[in-house]
Amino acid sequence: MTTRQHGANDVVDAVVIGTGAGGAPLTARLAQAGLSVVALEAGRAFRPDEHVADEVAADIYWMEERLSGGSTPTAFGSNNSGMGVGGSTLHWGAFCPRPDPRDLRLRTLTGEGADWPIDSAELTRYIAEVEAFTGVSGPADYPWDATRRYAYPPVARNAAADAMARGCAALGITATDAPAALVSRDRDQPHWGQRQACVNCGACHQGCRNAAKTSMDTTYLPLAVAHGAEIRAGARVVAFDYDGRGRISAVVYSQNGQEHRQLCAAVFLCAGGVETPRLLLNLGIANSSGQVGRNFMAHVATQIWGRFDAEMRMNRGYPSSLISEDMMRPGDAGCAGGYLIQSLGVLPVNLATGLARGAGLWGERLQTLLRGYNRMAGIGINGECLPHADNRLTLADEVDAFGHRKARIDFSYHANEQAIDRHARRTLSDIWAAAGAQDICAVDRSAHTIGTCRMGHDGDTAVVDSDGRSFDIANLRICDNSIFPSALAANPALTIMALSLRTADRFLASDD
Protein backbone atom coordinates (compact mmCIF):
# COMPACT_ATOMS: atom_id res chain seq x y z
CA MET A 1 0.00 0.00 0.00
CA THR A 2 1.39 3.39 -0.93
CA THR A 3 -0.16 5.92 1.32
CA ARG A 4 -1.06 9.49 0.54
CA GLN A 5 0.35 11.86 3.15
CA HIS A 6 -1.68 14.68 4.61
CA GLY A 7 0.12 17.70 6.03
CA ALA A 8 -0.14 18.74 9.66
CA ASN A 9 -1.89 21.94 8.64
CA ASP A 10 -4.33 20.32 6.25
CA VAL A 11 -7.82 20.25 7.69
CA VAL A 12 -8.82 16.75 6.72
CA ASP A 13 -12.48 15.89 6.30
CA ALA A 14 -12.31 13.11 8.84
CA VAL A 15 -10.03 11.53 11.39
CA VAL A 16 -10.85 7.94 12.28
CA ILE A 17 -9.55 6.61 15.61
CA GLY A 18 -9.05 2.86 15.43
CA THR A 19 -8.64 0.65 12.37
CA GLY A 20 -10.64 -2.41 13.41
CA ALA A 21 -14.10 -3.54 12.37
CA GLY A 22 -15.60 -0.20 13.42
CA GLY A 23 -13.09 2.14 11.82
CA ALA A 24 -11.86 0.42 8.68
CA PRO A 25 -15.02 0.03 6.56
CA LEU A 26 -16.08 3.63 7.10
CA THR A 27 -12.57 4.85 6.35
CA ALA A 28 -12.89 3.16 2.97
CA ARG A 29 -16.41 4.44 2.38
CA LEU A 30 -15.51 8.04 3.17
CA ALA A 31 -12.38 7.89 1.01
CA GLN A 32 -14.36 6.37 -1.85
CA ALA A 33 -16.74 9.33 -1.58
CA GLY A 34 -13.78 11.63 -2.17
CA LEU A 35 -13.21 12.78 1.40
CA SER A 36 -9.74 13.25 2.85
CA VAL A 37 -9.39 10.76 5.69
CA VAL A 38 -6.65 10.00 8.21
CA ALA A 39 -7.01 6.84 10.30
CA LEU A 40 -5.01 6.65 13.53
CA GLU A 41 -4.07 3.26 14.94
CA ALA A 42 -2.43 2.75 18.33
CA GLY A 43 -0.71 -0.48 17.29
CA ARG A 44 1.75 -1.30 14.57
CA ALA A 45 1.25 -2.59 11.04
CA PHE A 46 1.73 -6.29 10.30
CA ARG A 47 2.21 -8.33 7.15
CA PRO A 48 0.08 -11.47 7.44
CA ASP A 49 3.11 -13.76 7.34
CA GLU A 50 4.64 -11.89 10.26
CA HIS A 51 2.09 -13.42 12.61
CA VAL A 52 3.45 -16.09 14.91
CA ALA A 53 1.67 -19.42 15.35
CA ASP A 54 2.33 -19.37 19.07
CA GLU A 55 -0.12 -18.44 21.81
CA VAL A 56 2.39 -16.67 24.02
CA ALA A 57 4.43 -14.92 21.34
CA ALA A 58 1.52 -13.57 19.27
CA ASP A 59 1.62 -9.79 19.67
CA ILE A 60 -1.67 -8.62 18.22
CA TYR A 61 -3.60 -8.06 21.46
CA TRP A 62 -4.29 -4.95 23.52
CA MET A 63 -2.16 -5.88 26.55
CA GLU A 64 -2.29 -2.64 28.50
CA GLU A 65 -3.75 -3.46 31.88
CA ARG A 66 -7.44 -3.21 32.66
CA LEU A 67 -9.00 -3.89 36.02
CA SER A 68 -11.79 -6.42 36.11
CA GLY A 69 -14.32 -6.52 38.93
CA GLY A 70 -17.82 -7.74 39.70
CA SER A 71 -18.97 -11.24 40.62
CA THR A 72 -18.13 -12.69 37.18
CA PRO A 73 -15.09 -10.63 36.11
CA THR A 74 -14.38 -10.86 32.40
CA ALA A 75 -10.91 -11.39 30.98
CA PHE A 76 -9.35 -8.92 28.54
CA GLY A 77 -6.07 -9.13 26.65
CA SER A 78 -6.04 -11.98 24.18
CA ASN A 79 -9.63 -12.85 25.12
CA ASN A 80 -11.17 -9.95 23.24
CA SER A 81 -8.97 -6.94 22.58
CA GLY A 82 -6.79 -6.28 19.59
CA MET A 83 -4.00 -3.88 18.78
CA GLY A 84 -2.42 -3.30 15.41
CA VAL A 85 -3.53 -2.03 12.01
CA GLY A 86 -6.73 -4.05 11.63
CA GLY A 87 -7.60 -3.96 15.33
CA SER A 88 -9.32 -7.00 16.80
CA THR A 89 -9.95 -8.42 13.32
CA LEU A 90 -6.29 -9.51 13.43
CA HIS A 91 -7.12 -12.05 16.12
CA TRP A 92 -10.88 -12.62 15.86
CA GLY A 93 -12.23 -16.12 15.40
CA ALA A 94 -14.04 -15.23 12.15
CA PHE A 95 -17.17 -17.02 13.34
CA CYS A 96 -19.75 -14.83 11.64
CA PRO A 97 -23.42 -15.73 12.05
CA ARG A 98 -25.76 -12.87 11.23
CA PRO A 99 -27.62 -11.24 14.12
CA ASP A 100 -31.10 -12.66 14.69
CA PRO A 101 -33.69 -9.98 13.73
CA ARG A 102 -35.56 -10.75 16.96
CA ASP A 103 -32.50 -9.72 18.98
CA LEU A 104 -32.75 -6.16 17.64
CA ARG A 105 -36.29 -5.87 19.04
CA LEU A 106 -35.74 -7.63 22.32
CA ARG A 107 -37.51 -5.00 24.40
CA THR A 108 -40.59 -5.01 22.19
CA LEU A 109 -40.75 -8.78 22.05
CA THR A 110 -39.84 -9.70 25.63
CA GLY A 111 -40.09 -6.55 27.71
CA GLU A 112 -36.45 -6.93 28.64
CA GLY A 113 -33.18 -5.54 27.34
CA ALA A 114 -33.23 -2.81 24.72
CA ASP A 115 -34.39 -2.31 21.15
CA TRP A 116 -31.98 -1.16 18.49
CA PRO A 117 -32.90 2.17 16.86
CA ILE A 118 -32.02 0.59 13.51
CA ASP A 119 -34.26 -1.50 11.35
CA SER A 120 -33.13 -5.10 11.01
CA ALA A 121 -33.71 -5.16 7.24
CA GLU A 122 -31.47 -2.13 6.79
CA LEU A 123 -28.73 -3.66 8.93
CA THR A 124 -29.01 -6.91 6.99
CA ARG A 125 -28.46 -5.09 3.68
CA TYR A 126 -25.18 -3.75 5.04
CA ILE A 127 -24.23 -7.16 6.42
CA ALA A 128 -24.78 -8.71 3.00
CA GLU A 129 -22.56 -6.03 1.49
CA VAL A 130 -19.78 -6.77 4.00
CA GLU A 131 -20.09 -10.49 3.30
CA ALA A 132 -19.87 -9.89 -0.43
CA PHE A 133 -16.84 -7.61 -0.19
CA THR A 134 -14.87 -9.75 2.24
CA GLY A 135 -15.83 -13.26 1.16
CA VAL A 136 -17.52 -15.64 3.60
CA SER A 137 -17.51 -19.44 3.58
CA GLY A 138 -20.59 -21.30 4.71
CA PRO A 139 -23.11 -24.02 3.98
CA ALA A 140 -25.17 -24.14 0.77
CA ASP A 141 -28.35 -24.30 2.80
CA TYR A 142 -28.60 -22.46 6.08
CA PRO A 143 -31.26 -24.17 8.20
CA TRP A 144 -32.36 -21.03 10.06
CA ASP A 145 -32.55 -18.72 7.02
CA ALA A 146 -33.68 -20.15 3.68
CA THR A 147 -32.52 -17.07 1.78
CA ARG A 148 -28.92 -17.20 3.02
CA ARG A 149 -26.17 -17.80 0.44
CA TYR A 150 -22.43 -17.87 1.00
CA ALA A 151 -19.83 -17.17 -1.64
CA TYR A 152 -17.51 -20.02 -0.74
CA PRO A 153 -18.08 -23.62 0.32
CA PRO A 154 -17.58 -24.37 4.02
CA VAL A 155 -14.13 -25.13 5.38
CA ALA A 156 -13.35 -28.68 6.45
CA ARG A 157 -14.96 -29.77 9.68
CA ASN A 158 -12.53 -30.75 12.38
CA ALA A 159 -12.84 -33.50 14.97
CA ALA A 160 -14.70 -31.27 17.44
CA ALA A 161 -17.21 -30.34 14.74
CA ASP A 162 -17.76 -33.99 13.81
CA ALA A 163 -18.36 -34.80 17.47
CA MET A 164 -20.84 -31.94 17.82
CA ALA A 165 -22.66 -33.04 14.68
CA ARG A 166 -22.91 -36.54 16.14
CA GLY A 167 -24.14 -35.33 19.53
CA CYS A 168 -26.65 -32.89 18.05
CA ALA A 169 -28.03 -35.51 15.68
CA ALA A 170 -28.58 -37.89 18.60
CA LEU A 171 -30.55 -35.22 20.46
CA GLY A 172 -32.49 -33.90 17.47
CA ILE A 173 -30.71 -30.55 17.46
CA THR A 174 -30.00 -29.06 14.04
CA ALA A 175 -26.37 -28.18 13.35
CA THR A 176 -24.45 -27.28 10.22
CA ASP A 177 -21.19 -25.87 8.91
CA ALA A 178 -20.53 -22.50 10.47
CA PRO A 179 -20.48 -19.30 8.47
CA ALA A 180 -16.81 -18.32 8.65
CA ALA A 181 -15.30 -15.03 7.54
CA LEU A 182 -12.54 -16.68 5.62
CA VAL A 183 -12.11 -17.86 2.09
CA SER A 184 -12.04 -21.59 1.43
CA ARG A 185 -10.72 -20.89 -2.10
CA ASP A 186 -8.08 -18.46 -3.30
CA ARG A 187 -9.56 -15.00 -3.76
CA ASP A 188 -8.24 -11.87 -5.39
CA GLN A 189 -9.04 -9.09 -2.96
CA PRO A 190 -9.37 -5.72 -4.68
CA HIS A 191 -6.44 -3.40 -3.98
CA TRP A 192 -4.66 -5.99 -1.85
CA GLY A 193 -3.91 -9.11 -3.82
CA GLN A 194 -4.36 -12.81 -3.38
CA ARG A 195 -5.92 -14.09 -0.20
CA GLN A 196 -5.06 -17.76 -0.16
CA ALA A 197 -7.53 -20.48 0.68
CA CYS A 198 -7.70 -21.46 4.34
CA VAL A 199 -5.20 -24.27 5.06
CA ASN A 200 -6.85 -25.45 8.29
CA CYS A 201 -3.89 -24.37 10.43
CA GLY A 202 -6.11 -23.60 13.42
CA ALA A 203 -4.22 -20.47 14.48
CA CYS A 204 -6.88 -17.85 13.64
CA HIS A 205 -6.51 -16.23 17.06
CA GLN A 206 -2.78 -15.75 16.57
CA GLY A 207 -3.29 -13.94 13.26
CA CYS A 208 -3.98 -15.45 9.85
CA ARG A 209 -0.71 -15.97 8.01
CA ASN A 210 -2.09 -16.43 4.50
CA ALA A 211 -4.84 -13.79 4.60
CA ALA A 212 -7.61 -16.38 4.22
CA LYS A 213 -9.38 -14.84 7.21
CA THR A 214 -11.19 -11.54 6.83
CA SER A 215 -9.10 -8.93 8.52
CA MET A 216 -9.30 -5.19 7.98
CA ASP A 217 -5.64 -4.93 6.92
CA THR A 218 -6.29 -7.21 3.95
CA THR A 219 -9.76 -5.95 2.95
CA TYR A 220 -11.21 -2.55 3.80
CA LEU A 221 -7.98 -0.74 4.65
CA PRO A 222 -6.34 -1.42 1.25
CA LEU A 223 -9.58 -0.20 -0.35
CA ALA A 224 -9.39 2.93 1.78
CA VAL A 225 -5.75 3.59 0.92
CA ALA A 226 -6.44 3.05 -2.78
CA HIS A 227 -8.90 5.91 -2.53
CA GLY A 228 -6.51 8.25 -0.80
CA ALA A 229 -6.99 7.53 2.89
CA GLU A 230 -3.91 7.70 5.07
CA ILE A 231 -3.27 5.22 7.88
CA ARG A 232 -0.91 6.23 10.66
CA ALA A 233 0.26 3.31 12.79
CA GLY A 234 1.62 3.67 16.31
CA ALA A 235 -0.54 6.77 16.76
CA ARG A 236 -2.18 6.90 20.18
CA VAL A 237 -4.90 9.51 20.60
CA VAL A 238 -4.57 11.42 23.87
CA ALA A 239 -6.76 14.54 23.51
CA PHE A 240 -8.86 16.76 21.26
CA ASP A 241 -8.79 20.48 20.49
CA TYR A 242 -12.12 22.30 20.15
CA ASP A 243 -13.35 25.32 18.27
CA GLY A 244 -15.55 28.08 19.68
CA ARG A 245 -18.69 26.07 18.99
CA GLY A 246 -17.57 23.06 20.98
CA ARG A 247 -16.76 21.02 17.93
CA ILE A 248 -13.54 19.04 17.73
CA SER A 249 -11.03 20.97 15.62
CA ALA A 250 -8.04 18.67 15.95
CA VAL A 251 -7.11 15.23 17.21
CA VAL A 252 -4.01 15.18 19.41
CA TYR A 253 -2.00 11.99 19.34
CA SER A 254 1.30 10.59 20.47
CA GLN A 255 3.53 8.83 17.95
CA ASN A 256 7.10 7.71 18.62
CA GLY A 257 7.06 9.69 21.85
CA GLN A 258 6.12 12.94 20.11
CA GLU A 259 2.85 14.80 20.24
CA HIS A 260 1.12 15.55 16.95
CA ARG A 261 -2.10 17.30 15.94
CA GLN A 262 -4.29 16.56 13.00
CA LEU A 263 -6.73 19.30 12.11
CA CYS A 264 -10.05 17.88 11.01
CA ALA A 265 -13.71 18.62 10.28
CA ALA A 266 -15.11 15.41 11.77
CA VAL A 267 -14.02 12.62 14.09
CA PHE A 268 -15.02 8.96 14.12
CA LEU A 269 -14.11 7.26 17.38
CA CYS A 270 -13.83 3.51 16.75
CA ALA A 271 -11.55 2.26 19.53
CA GLY A 272 -13.76 -0.55 20.83
CA GLY A 273 -16.00 -1.17 23.82
CA VAL A 274 -13.32 -0.37 26.38
CA GLU A 275 -10.98 2.22 24.87
CA THR A 276 -13.75 4.35 23.36
CA PRO A 277 -15.56 5.06 26.66
CA ARG A 278 -12.24 5.22 28.49
CA LEU A 279 -11.01 8.03 26.25
CA LEU A 280 -14.28 9.94 26.61
CA LEU A 281 -14.25 9.55 30.40
CA ASN A 282 -10.60 10.55 30.66
CA LEU A 283 -11.28 13.67 28.60
CA GLY A 284 -14.60 14.31 30.35
CA ILE A 285 -16.56 14.77 27.11
CA ALA A 286 -19.67 13.54 25.32
CA ASN A 287 -21.23 12.44 28.57
CA SER A 288 -24.10 14.80 29.36
CA SER A 289 -26.27 11.67 29.48
CA GLY A 290 -24.08 10.13 32.17
CA GLN A 291 -24.24 6.96 30.09
CA VAL A 292 -20.62 6.70 28.98
CA GLY A 293 -19.26 3.48 30.43
CA ARG A 294 -22.66 2.18 31.48
CA ASN A 295 -24.37 -1.01 30.31
CA PHE A 296 -21.18 -2.94 29.72
CA MET A 297 -22.08 -6.32 28.26
CA ALA A 298 -20.09 -9.48 27.59
CA HIS A 299 -21.53 -12.55 25.94
CA VAL A 300 -22.11 -15.60 28.07
CA ALA A 301 -19.44 -17.86 26.59
CA THR A 302 -19.68 -21.01 28.67
CA GLN A 303 -17.72 -23.98 27.34
CA ILE A 304 -18.08 -27.70 27.86
CA TRP A 305 -15.00 -29.89 27.52
CA GLY A 306 -14.55 -33.62 27.41
CA ARG A 307 -12.15 -36.42 26.63
CA PHE A 308 -12.71 -38.74 23.68
CA ASP A 309 -11.37 -42.21 22.97
CA ALA A 310 -10.36 -41.02 19.53
CA GLU A 311 -7.38 -38.82 18.85
CA MET A 312 -9.06 -35.46 18.20
CA ARG A 313 -6.05 -33.15 17.68
CA MET A 314 -8.47 -30.26 17.96
CA ASN A 315 -5.91 -27.64 16.97
CA ARG A 316 -6.26 -28.91 13.41
CA GLY A 317 -8.79 -27.13 11.26
CA TYR A 318 -10.87 -23.99 11.56
CA PRO A 319 -11.61 -23.89 15.30
CA SER A 320 -15.39 -23.28 15.17
CA SER A 321 -16.48 -25.16 12.10
CA LEU A 322 -19.98 -26.18 13.27
CA ILE A 323 -22.90 -24.04 14.43
CA SER A 324 -26.37 -24.47 15.81
CA GLU A 325 -28.92 -21.67 16.10
CA ASP A 326 -31.53 -23.96 17.63
CA MET A 327 -31.12 -22.39 21.06
CA MET A 328 -31.70 -18.81 19.94
CA ARG A 329 -35.04 -19.00 21.76
CA PRO A 330 -34.84 -21.85 24.27
CA GLY A 331 -38.42 -21.76 25.41
CA ASP A 332 -37.92 -23.32 28.80
CA ALA A 333 -34.81 -21.45 29.86
CA GLY A 334 -36.22 -18.43 31.65
CA CYS A 335 -34.11 -15.95 29.72
CA ALA A 336 -34.74 -13.19 27.21
CA GLY A 337 -32.89 -14.00 24.03
CA GLY A 338 -30.82 -17.10 23.63
CA TYR A 339 -27.52 -18.46 22.47
CA LEU A 340 -25.56 -19.85 19.56
CA ILE A 341 -23.68 -23.12 19.87
CA GLN A 342 -20.32 -23.72 18.23
CA SER A 343 -17.80 -26.52 18.23
CA LEU A 344 -14.46 -25.63 19.79
CA GLY A 345 -10.89 -26.46 19.01
CA VAL A 346 -8.46 -24.40 21.03
CA LEU A 347 -4.70 -24.38 21.39
CA PRO A 348 -3.04 -25.79 24.53
CA VAL A 349 -2.43 -22.62 26.55
CA ASN A 350 -6.00 -21.49 25.98
CA LEU A 351 -7.33 -24.85 27.14
CA ALA A 352 -5.03 -24.91 30.16
CA THR A 353 -5.83 -21.42 31.42
CA GLY A 354 -9.53 -21.95 30.73
CA LEU A 355 -9.63 -25.12 32.83
CA ALA A 356 -7.47 -23.57 35.57
CA ARG A 357 -9.57 -20.40 35.81
CA GLY A 358 -13.03 -21.11 34.49
CA ALA A 359 -13.36 -24.70 35.71
CA GLY A 360 -11.41 -24.07 38.91
CA LEU A 361 -9.26 -27.14 38.32
CA TRP A 362 -5.86 -28.06 39.62
CA GLY A 363 -4.06 -31.23 40.62
CA GLU A 364 -4.43 -34.68 39.12
CA ARG A 365 -7.66 -33.94 37.25
CA LEU A 366 -6.24 -30.89 35.54
CA GLN A 367 -2.96 -32.66 34.82
CA THR A 368 -4.72 -35.65 33.28
CA LEU A 369 -6.87 -33.49 31.02
CA LEU A 370 -3.91 -31.44 29.83
CA ARG A 371 -1.70 -34.46 29.29
CA GLY A 372 -4.51 -35.80 27.12
CA TYR A 373 -4.74 -32.59 25.05
CA ASN A 374 -4.87 -34.54 21.80
CA ARG A 375 -8.03 -36.32 22.94
CA MET A 376 -9.87 -33.24 24.18
CA ALA A 377 -12.55 -31.31 22.33
CA GLY A 378 -15.06 -28.69 23.31
CA ILE A 379 -18.32 -27.05 22.53
CA GLY A 380 -19.32 -23.55 23.52
CA ILE A 381 -21.89 -20.82 23.28
CA ASN A 382 -22.27 -17.15 22.57
CA GLY A 383 -25.24 -16.01 24.61
CA GLU A 384 -27.27 -12.83 24.90
CA CYS A 385 -26.31 -10.47 27.69
CA LEU A 386 -28.75 -7.81 28.83
CA PRO A 387 -27.63 -4.32 29.80
CA HIS A 388 -27.60 -3.81 33.55
CA ALA A 389 -27.01 -0.72 35.68
CA ASP A 390 -24.35 -2.42 37.81
CA ASN A 391 -22.27 -3.52 34.85
CA ARG A 392 -20.16 -0.56 33.87
CA LEU A 393 -16.80 0.80 32.97
CA THR A 394 -15.31 3.44 35.25
CA LEU A 395 -11.85 4.93 35.66
CA ALA A 396 -9.42 3.48 38.19
CA ASP A 397 -7.02 5.71 40.09
CA GLU A 398 -3.99 4.17 38.41
CA VAL A 399 -2.77 5.84 35.21
CA ASP A 400 -1.16 4.46 32.06
CA ALA A 401 1.97 5.60 30.25
CA PHE A 402 0.01 8.47 28.66
CA GLY A 403 -1.32 9.76 31.98
CA HIS A 404 -4.79 8.42 31.29
CA ARG A 405 -6.56 6.57 34.05
CA LYS A 406 -6.93 2.83 33.50
CA ALA A 407 -10.30 1.29 32.85
CA ARG A 408 -12.07 -0.66 35.55
CA ILE A 409 -14.87 -2.88 34.31
CA ASP A 410 -17.36 -4.37 36.75
CA PHE A 411 -19.35 -7.22 35.30
CA SER A 412 -21.73 -9.64 36.98
CA TYR A 413 -24.13 -12.13 35.50
CA HIS A 414 -27.74 -11.38 36.36
CA ALA A 415 -30.90 -13.47 35.94
CA ASN A 416 -30.83 -13.62 32.13
CA GLU A 417 -27.16 -14.57 31.91
CA GLN A 418 -27.48 -17.07 34.75
CA ALA A 419 -30.44 -18.69 33.02
CA ILE A 420 -28.58 -18.93 29.71
CA ASP A 421 -25.53 -20.35 31.46
CA ARG A 422 -27.64 -22.96 33.27
CA HIS A 423 -29.49 -24.00 30.14
CA ALA A 424 -26.33 -24.15 28.06
CA ARG A 425 -24.44 -26.27 30.58
CA ARG A 426 -27.23 -28.83 30.57
CA THR A 427 -27.73 -28.83 26.81
CA LEU A 428 -24.06 -28.87 25.88
CA SER A 429 -23.24 -31.56 28.43
CA ASP A 430 -26.00 -33.67 26.92
CA ILE A 431 -24.64 -33.11 23.42
CA TRP A 432 -21.13 -33.98 24.54
CA ALA A 433 -22.25 -37.12 26.38
CA ALA A 434 -24.19 -38.19 23.29
CA ALA A 435 -21.07 -37.58 21.21
CA GLY A 436 -19.09 -39.96 23.38
CA ALA A 437 -17.19 -37.52 25.58
CA GLN A 438 -16.04 -38.58 29.03
CA ASP A 439 -14.80 -36.64 32.03
CA ILE A 440 -16.99 -33.71 30.98
CA CYS A 441 -16.41 -30.37 32.66
CA ALA A 442 -17.65 -26.80 32.23
CA VAL A 443 -15.59 -23.63 31.90
CA ASP A 444 -17.13 -20.34 33.00
CA ARG A 445 -16.23 -17.66 30.54
CA SER A 446 -17.54 -14.44 29.01
CA ALA A 447 -16.43 -12.79 25.79
CA HIS A 448 -16.54 -9.54 23.81
CA THR A 449 -16.74 -5.96 25.08
CA ILE A 450 -20.12 -4.45 24.28
CA GLY A 451 -22.19 -1.43 25.30
CA THR A 452 -20.66 1.52 27.23
CA CYS A 453 -21.64 4.23 24.68
CA ARG A 454 -25.12 3.07 23.74
CA MET A 455 -27.04 4.48 20.83
CA GLY A 456 -30.65 5.56 21.14
CA HIS A 457 -33.21 8.17 20.28
CA ASP A 458 -32.86 10.20 23.45
CA GLY A 459 -29.81 12.16 24.60
CA ASP A 460 -30.79 11.63 28.22
CA THR A 461 -30.40 7.88 28.02
CA ALA A 462 -27.98 7.36 25.16
CA VAL A 463 -24.53 8.63 24.19
CA VAL A 464 -25.04 8.65 20.42
CA ASP A 465 -28.06 8.78 18.16
CA SER A 466 -29.06 6.11 15.69
CA ASP A 467 -26.49 7.46 13.23
CA GLY A 468 -23.73 7.08 15.79
CA ARG A 469 -23.51 10.84 16.29
CA SER A 470 -22.73 12.23 19.73
CA PHE A 471 -25.62 14.13 21.33
CA ASP A 472 -23.05 16.54 22.80
CA ILE A 473 -20.37 17.09 20.15
CA ALA A 474 -21.83 17.64 16.71
CA ASN A 475 -18.84 16.43 14.71
CA LEU A 476 -18.05 13.35 16.82
CA ARG A 477 -19.35 9.97 15.79
CA ILE A 478 -18.75 6.62 17.44
CA CYS A 479 -18.73 3.33 15.62
CA ASP A 480 -17.74 0.11 17.35
CA ASN A 481 -19.34 -2.39 19.72
CA SER A 482 -19.65 0.32 22.40
CA ILE A 483 -22.78 1.72 20.71
CA PHE A 484 -24.69 -1.60 20.77
CA PRO A 485 -27.85 -1.07 22.85
CA SER A 486 -28.05 -4.81 23.50
CA ALA A 487 -25.49 -7.55 23.01
CA LEU A 488 -27.16 -9.68 20.29
CA ALA A 489 -26.33 -13.36 20.54
CA ALA A 490 -24.34 -13.24 17.30
CA ASN A 491 -20.63 -12.57 17.55
CA PRO A 492 -20.24 -8.81 17.07
CA ALA A 493 -17.64 -8.23 14.33
CA LEU A 494 -19.91 -8.68 11.32
CA THR A 495 -22.47 -6.29 12.82
CA ILE A 496 -19.76 -3.75 13.64
CA MET A 497 -18.51 -3.77 10.04
CA ALA A 498 -22.07 -3.33 8.78
CA LEU A 499 -22.65 -0.46 11.20
CA SER A 500 -19.41 1.09 10.02
CA LEU A 501 -20.62 1.28 6.41
CA ARG A 502 -23.96 2.60 7.58
CA THR A 503 -22.32 5.24 9.80
CA ALA A 504 -20.36 6.48 6.78
CA ASP A 505 -23.47 6.59 4.60
CA ARG A 506 -25.46 8.48 7.24
CA PHE A 507 -22.60 10.94 7.64
CA LEU A 508 -22.32 11.46 3.89
CA ALA A 509 -26.07 12.02 3.70
CA SER A 510 -26.05 14.50 6.57
CA ASP A 511 -25.59 18.23 6.28
CA ASP A 512 -22.16 18.24 7.95
Under 8 Å between Cβ of 179 and 138: yes
β-bridge pairing 187-189 and 176-177: unpaired
Q: For residue 12, what is the DSSP state? A: B
Under 8 Å between Cβ of 303 and 344: yes
| Min CB(236)–other proteins separation in Å | 16
Question: How many other CB atoms are found less than 10 A from the CB of residue 5?
Answer: 9
Query: Which residues 15-54 are close enough to bind other proteins by CB under 8 A?
Result: 49-54
Strand, coil or helix: what is 105? strand
Residue from the set 12, 14, 96, 159 that interacts with other proteins by CB under 8 A: 159
Choose the binding region for other proteins from 63-71, 123-131, 384-392, 503-511 (rule: CB under 8 A). 63-71
Nearer to other proteins, 331 or 363 (CB): 363
Nearer to other proteins, 192 or 507 (CB): 192
Residue 412 found at the interface with other proteins (CB under 8 A): no
Return the amino acid letter for 253: Y
| Min CB(363)–other proteins separation in Å | 6
Residue 66 found at the interface with other proteins (CB under 8 A): yes
Residue 140 found at the interface with other proteins (CB under 8 A): no
Helix (H) or strand (E) holding 280: helix 272-283
Report how far apart, in Å, the C-alpha atoms of 77 and of each of 31, 59, 447 are: 31, 10, 11
Strand, coil or helix: what is 410? strand
Query: Which residues 98-127 are close enough to bind other proteins by CB under 8 A?
Result: none
Residue from the set 363, 397, 403, 511 that interacts with other proteins by CB under 8 A: 363
Build a one-symbol-per-residue string for 321-350: x at contacts with other proteins by CB under 8 A, - elsewhere.
--------------------------xxx-
Nearer to other proteins, 157 or 299 (CB): 157
Residue 390 found at the interface with other proteins (CB under 8 A): no
| Min CB(509)–other proteins separation in Å | 38
Query: Which residues 253-292 are close enough to bind other proteins by CB under 8 A?
Result: none
Choose the binding region for other proteins from 233-241, 248-256, 310-318, 472-480 (rule: CB under 8 A). 310-318
Nearest in space to 289 (alpha carbons), one of 465, 97, 501, 512: 465
Nearer to other proteins, 212 or 279 (CB): 212
- Cross-strand partners of 305: 378, 441
CA–CA distance, 163 with 312 (Å, rounded to integer)? 9
Question: How many other CB atoms are found less than 10 A from the CB of residue 141?
Answer: 11
Query: Which residues 200-239 are close enough to bind other proteins by CB under 8 A?
Result: 200-203, 209-210
